[in-house]
Chains A and B, each alone.
Chain A
Amino acid sequence: MIPRSRSPSRSPSRSHSHSPFPLFVISLLFCLLVPHASFAQSKPSIQVQVDQDTVGVGDVVHMQMTVTSSEAMPSDAQPGPAPGFVVHSPSSMPSQTHFNINGNQMDRFTLTVDWPLQAQKTGTFTLGPPTVVVGNTRFAPSGGITVRVLPAGQAPRHAQPQQPGGVDPFGLGFSPFDPWKQMFPGSQPGDPLGGQPSPTISSDPRLQLDSPRGNFYFIHATVDKTTAVVGEQIILSIYEYTDESLARVAIEASDAHEPQLADFSRRSLLKDDDRGIMAGTVSIGGRLWEVVLAHRWAIFPLRAGDLTIGAMSETLARPRAVSGAVRSTETLRLHVTEPPVAGRPPGYAIGDVGHFAVETQVTPRDVEQDAAVAVHVEVAGTGNVPPTIATPARDGVEWLTPEVHEQLAPIGHDTFGGKRTFDYVVRLHRSGDVDLGDITLPFWDPQKAAYDIARSPIGVVHVRPTSTGGVPGASPSGKGAQEALPDLPAQRDILENTRTSPRTHLDDSPLPWLLGIGFWPLAFGGVVAGGAAGRRLANAWRGRRASPAAELDRRVAAARSACSGDDPRAADAATARALEAAALARGGVSIRGAVGDEVLDRLVGAGVTRESAQRLAELLRSCESARFSPTAADVAAARDRWREAQRAIRELRRA
């Protein structure tokens, strides 16, 4: 369990950073531990930064310049123009480091100068650029540093300088000169028990909430943007809200969980990530809450997609009323994409996002064949400073694995950056003037929403043939390497460019299958089946033409035709033949040649009703009588008989 006293004990943790003694110790340690970060070179490396980019009138901002040179100790550092600020006396720390690589003696001279600048009026001002003399030349970095000055008291809160007597040169967290001081609450200025003036309500919208997320104490997470590209800095802030009337809050240390950031790399933007800083006091839900910025992280997305920042959770141990209660932050979601493909420069690596500059130094520039030179590459800037760089590969030039050092830290309040240095030992196996090429670093600048390229030429190194008689231009040590991958075919210089879209294939459509493959078997099958079907059809047709029904139809048509003429005998003959055909078609019995009652018997025997049969027999008899009568027959009577016959035929059908 970690007891956390209220804000005054957690906020002023950054106060030691501006005292000159720790700065000196840190710089000294840096110079001792990182001695080979750069090598001698005519052009010095200059780094300038300020500790705050937004201050209030009367506040002091520190501008620090670090100059590294291999020629001579930098001197006569000048802060340059500082409109709106009063420049106080600077502190400077020179250091010197000596190297020996492959028998090459090298020195590095470093000068660090810190100028305290006190803001005098509001506005946005450009400081510097500061200048420094190395050798006989005065150097300056490109561009100054912009600082915004707000009215007094309106600037974001920063760690205040340590009170007199509170110096902690060893970073122990207490003063060796007064170790008992912090053990008695109320004994320090600003301690709540020591009688503090009533707090000022903050109007910072980032701290405002519609309602409290818990009683007595809760935590709240925000991000500065919800869409970004892979590698772009996103600021994740975790705020702790404590009820102002509460005397003491304690968190279960064993049950505190940081947010899940599996898809991000995380760097703290606070100098001491374990101790928050006061952000202000706000009124939420009718109560006053003291807000502490517990964490402020620069997080860098590692991949594209809809990424989630999991909730951070803490379990309260005190006050007892809410002991065991869990407080957690919101789960945040971010939409992360890759930078656009359009305009992407060759060599761009996904994740290289920010604003960078590259500097290179080579020492020496005149060596013997198979000897080595030191190449110092420094990548500096803000954002996701690349962990690796691509070195130009050349035949006969062997780049060994570099030593990498980094000085990455928050820059101002909301930017992470610094520099990474890569110290290579490069062996030169080929004699002559060897051009080592350029170091290029393409990156995506989110401020400009455009790609940019940081470039630094490494330059030419003169390689003398070995004293044992090397051949100019030869690379004897490279010979072994050349044995790998022998007999590779030649490259090609013209794109084939035959297609830009997927090729269509014959078998993608059903039509070629039908016409090309299915047609012939189908055609043969069609011929065979068609022949058989034709034969069957012909037989059926023939049979249909000889059927009694067809005969009946023909006889009916003939009778109708005959009745429309003037020959009564022909009409009666046709009517009689129609009746005979009807008997055969409908009754299934032939009455041709039958005489007298034989017609009736045949029809009844075939299943025709007696009434219908009798009627048909009478009609047939009357037709025969009229047909063979010696007197002239009447056409009208013949037509009447035909009408009767038609009715009889219809009834016969019904029967």
Chain B
Amino acid sequence: VRVVRLPWTRRLALAAAALLLATLFSSGARAADATASGDDTAQLFAAATTELHQGRPTEAIASFEALADRGLVDPVASYDRGLAYAQRVRIGAEVPGDLGRAAHGFEEARALSSDSALVDDATRALTVVRSEVARRRIRAGQPVEVDPGRSLARAVAGLVPEDAWFFVAAAASATFGVGLFVRRVGRGRRLRVGAGVAAGVAVPVLAVSIVMTLASRHDRLYLREAVVVSPGARPSSDQGIAQPGASPLAEGARVELLDSRGGWTRVRFGSLETWLDASTLRPIVRLD
């Protein structure tokens, strides 16, 4: 057997070529996988919307839930999923928890979407679902409160997007800085007075907008919310013992998640803080 020894430069070139080929192959395979996954998701979504159009909500729900299992986070998918659950209630084939799951889909769509029309539709659908829940709770003699609303600070912070608060803060900061400068170096008396007033007004605006920016950021990073998806979400102690006389939380209610232990989750609903069975809650997915 004759062993041919290649010069080191040629061996290096061969190794580099092999590495390049392997890299190209693996990246090509990854790209093919990603494309296949995307196609699969698109097909499943198309099937789900078709089933929903055809008035087959159970099949549509299965498809939308499969999309969620595969990690698709999209406001339209969440919104249509909510509609599928609502449609099942509407045609009289309701499964317990359908109203809560419908509300969850709409809440998630609102949280995810940047399309104002979709947000409006989801809000309208959410109102319809919660009205139905409230109607049923009135019949059952239970407290009607379905949505306690948000705290004042959180409501103000939610008036505009987080980036908008930041831009307001930046504008106020510029006004403040330029105002002080003009007041210092300006020649005319009117100019100096005007600059001083502008700087004085900019200070509280700057303070408020910075606080709102930070509050929005805190909510984005740390606030976790869920929707009650069961008609039997009974407030319990941290030992899992139902609180005597307490009515179940309304199906479709949006709650804040505070803590989790075993199969139990501590939530805040308005001023109420209690433990709920984790299976009665479905967290709202957020991309942020």
Q: Which chain A residues have a beta carbon within 8 Å of chain B's beta carbons?
A: 341-342, 344-348, 390-399, 437, 478, 481-482, 484-503, 505-508, 512, 516-524, 527-528
Asked whether A478 and B91 contact (CB < 8 A) given A345-B66, A505-B220, A527-B181, the answer is yes
B53 at interface by CB-CB < 8 Å: yes
- Is A520 within 8 A of B163, CB to CB? no
**CA A397 to CA B73, docked complex, whole Å:** 33
- Is A488 within 8 A of B91, CB to CB? no
**CA A517 to CA B176, docked complex, whole Å:** 10
Q: Can you list 15 A-B pairs, Cβ within 8 angstroms, ordered by A?
A: A344-B66, A344-B70, A484-B89, A484-B90, A485-B90, A489-B121, A491-B53, A491-B83, A495-B45, A496-B75, A496-B113, A506-B166, A507-B214, A508-B217, A522-B177
**CA A505 to CA B216, docked complex, whole Å:** 11
**CA A499 to CA B112, docked complex, whole Å:** 10
B185 closest partner in A (C-beta): A527
Interface centre among A481, A488, A506 (most CB of B within 10 A): A488
- Is A489 within 8 A of B125, CB to CB? yes
- Is B86 within 8 A of A485, CB to CB? yes
**CA A493 to CA B93, docked complex, whole Å:** 24
Neighbouring B residues of A497 by C-beta, 8 Å = 74, 76
- Is B173 within 8 A of A520, CB to CB? yes
1/0 contact trace for B95-109 toward A, CB 8 Å?
A: 000000000000000
Say which one of B20-28, B54-62, B269-277 lies at the interface with A.
B54-62
B174 at interface by CB-CB < 8 Å: yes
- Is B56 within 8 A of A481, CB to CB? no
A338 closest partner in B (C-beta): B69
- Is A496 within 8 A of B76, CB to CB? yes
- Is A395 within 8 A of B288, CB to CB? no
**CA A495 to CA B66, docked complex, whole Å:** 15
Neighbouring A residues of B47 by C-beta, 8 Å = 346
- Is A492 within 8 A of B118, CB to CB? yes
- Is B58 within 8 A of A517, CB to CB? no
Question: How close is A61's CB to chain B, nearest CB, in angstroms?
Answer: 41
**CA A214 to CA B129, docked complex, whole Å:** 64
A512 closest partner in B (C-beta): B166
**CA A396 to CA B92, docked complex, whole Å:** 8
Neighbouring A residues of B70 by C-beta, 8 Å = 341-342, 344
B49 at interface by CB-CB < 8 Å: yes
The interface residues of chain A, by DSSP majority, are classed as loop
Neighbouring A residues of B112 by C-beta, 8 Å = 496
Neighbouring B residues of A490 by C-beta, 8 Å = 121
- B163 CB contact (under 8 Å) in A399, A501, A505: A505
The interface residues of chain B, by DSSP majority, are classed as helix
B249 at interface by CB-CB < 8 Å: no
Neighbouring A residues of B170 by C-beta, 8 Å = 512, 516-517
- Is B66 within 8 A of A395, CB to CB? no
- B69 CB contact (under 8 Å) in A341, A396, A482, A499: A341
Neighbouring A residues of B66 by C-beta, 8 Å = 344-348
Question: How close is A497's CB to chain B, nearest CB, in angstroms?
Answer: 6
Asked whether A503 and B69 contact (CB < 8 A) given A346-B44, A482-B90, A520-B178, the answer is no
Neighbouring B residues of A517 by C-beta, 8 Å = 166, 169-170, 173, 206, 210
**CA A347 to CA B55, docked complex, whole Å:** 17
Asked whether A506 and B173 contact (CB < 8 A) given A346-B63, A398-B93, A495-B74, the answer is no
Interface centre among B59, B86, B177 (most CB of A within 10 A): B177
1/0 contact trace for B33-46 toward A, CB 8 Å?
A: 00000000010111
- Is B176 within 8 A of A521, CB to CB? yes
Neighbouring B residues of A495 by C-beta, 8 Å = 42, 45, 74, 76-77
Question: How close is A393's CB to chain B, nearest CB, in angstroms?
Answer: 3
Give me the 8 closest cross-chain CB pairs, A-B, nearest first. A520-B177, A393-B93, A347-B62, A481-B92, A516-B170, A346-B62, A346-B66, A489-B121
A391 closest partner in B (C-beta): B58
**CA A345 to CA B66, docked complex, whole Å:** 7
Which size bracket describes the interface of B in this complex?
35 or more
- Is B55 within 8 A of A488, CB to CB? no
- Is A488 within 8 A of B63, CB to CB? no
Neighbouring B residues of A519 by C-beta, 8 Å = 173-174, 177
**CA A495 to CA B170, docked complex, whole Å:** 34
Q: Which chain B residues have a beta carbon within 8 Å of chain A's beta carbons?
A: 42, 44-49, 52-53, 55-59, 62-63, 65-66, 69-71, 73-77, 79-80, 83, 86-93, 112-115, 118, 121, 124-125, 128-129, 132, 162-163, 166-167, 169-170, 173-178, 180-181, 184, 206, 210, 213-214, 217, 220, 287-288
- Is A393 within 8 A of B56, CB to CB? yes
A-B contacts besides A394-B91, A482-B90, A502-B288, 7 pairs, CB < 8 Å: A344-B66, A345-B66, A393-B93, A485-B90, A492-B80, A496-B75, A517-B210
Asked whether A346 and B59 contact (CB < 8 A) given A482-B90, A493-B49, the answer is yes
- Is A501 within 8 A of B287, CB to CB? yes
- A505 CB contact (under 8 Å) in B48, B89, B128, B217: B217
- Is B166 within 8 A of A516, CB to CB? yes
**CA A135 to CA B93, docked complex, whole Å:** 37
**CA A341 to CA B166, docked complex, whole Å:** 40
Neighbouring A residues of B87 by C-beta, 8 Å = 488
Question: How close is B240's CB to chain A, nearest CB, in angstroms?
Answer: 13
**CA A491 to CA B214, docked complex, whole Å:** 36
Question: How close is A491's CB to chain B, nearest CB, in angstroms?
Answer: 5
Neighbouring A residues of B124 by C-beta, 8 Å = 487, 489
- Is B80 within 8 A of A503, CB to CB? no
A498 closest partner in B (C-beta): B114
- Is A478 within 8 A of B92, CB to CB? yes
Neighbouring A residues of B48 by C-beta, 8 Å = 346
- A488 CB contact (under 8 Å) in B73, B83, B118, B288: B83
Neighbouring A residues of B176 by C-beta, 8 Å = 520-521
Question: How close is A538's CB to chain B, nearest CB, in angstroms?
Answer: 19
- Is B125 within 8 A of A488, CB to CB? yes
- Is A503 within 8 A of B287, CB to CB? yes
Neighbouring B residues of A524 by C-beta, 8 Å = 177-178, 180-181, 184
Neighbouring B residues of A493 by C-beta, 8 Å = 46, 49
Neighbouring A residues of B114 by C-beta, 8 Å = 496, 498
- Is A397 within 8 A of B52, CB to CB? no
Question: How close is A125's CB to chain B, nearest CB, in angstroms?
Answer: 40
- Is B55 within 8 A of A395, CB to CB? yes
Neighbouring A residues of B59 by C-beta, 8 Å = 346-347, 392, 437
Question: How close is B59's CB to chain A, nearest CB, in angstroms?
Answer: 7
B54 closest partner in A (C-beta): A394
Neighbouring B residues of A486 by C-beta, 8 Å = 128
Question: How close is B69's CB to chain A, nearest CB, in angstroms?
Answer: 5
Asked whether A487 and B173 contact (CB < 8 A) given A394-B91, A492-B76, the answer is no
- Is A394 within 8 A of B55, CB to CB? yes
Neighbouring B residues of A392 by C-beta, 8 Å = 56, 58-59
Neighbouring A residues of B178 by C-beta, 8 Å = 520, 524
Neighbouring A residues of B113 by C-beta, 8 Å = 496
A392 closest partner in B (C-beta): B58
- Is A399 within 8 A of B162, CB to CB? no
**CA A40 to CA B46, docked complex, whole Å:** 38
A482 closest partner in B (C-beta): B90
Asked whether A516 and B169 contact (CB < 8 A) given A481-B90, A492-B79, the answer is yes
**CA A519 to CA B169, docked complex, whole Å:** 12
- Is A341 within 8 A of B71, CB to CB? yes
Neighbouring A residues of B115 by C-beta, 8 Å = 496
**CA A491 to CA B77, docked complex, whole Å:** 10
- Is A494 within 8 A of B76, CB to CB? yes
Neighbouring B residues of A341 by C-beta, 8 Å = 69-71
Question: How close is B207's CB to chain A, nearest CB, in angstroms?
Answer: 11
**CA A467 to CA B167, docked complex, whole Å:** 71
- Is A394 within 8 A of B56, CB to CB? yes
- Is A397 within 8 A of B45, CB to CB? no
**CA A522 to CA B288, docked complex, whole Å:** 32
Question: How close is B110's CB to chain A, nearest CB, in angstroms?
Answer: 12
Neighbouring B residues of A345 by C-beta, 8 Å = 66
**CA A226 to CA B81, docked complex, whole Å:** 37
**CA A651 to CA B254, docked complex, whole Å:** 89
**CA A333 to CA B163, docked complex, whole Å:** 50
Neighbouring A residues of B166 by C-beta, 8 Å = 505-507, 512, 516-517
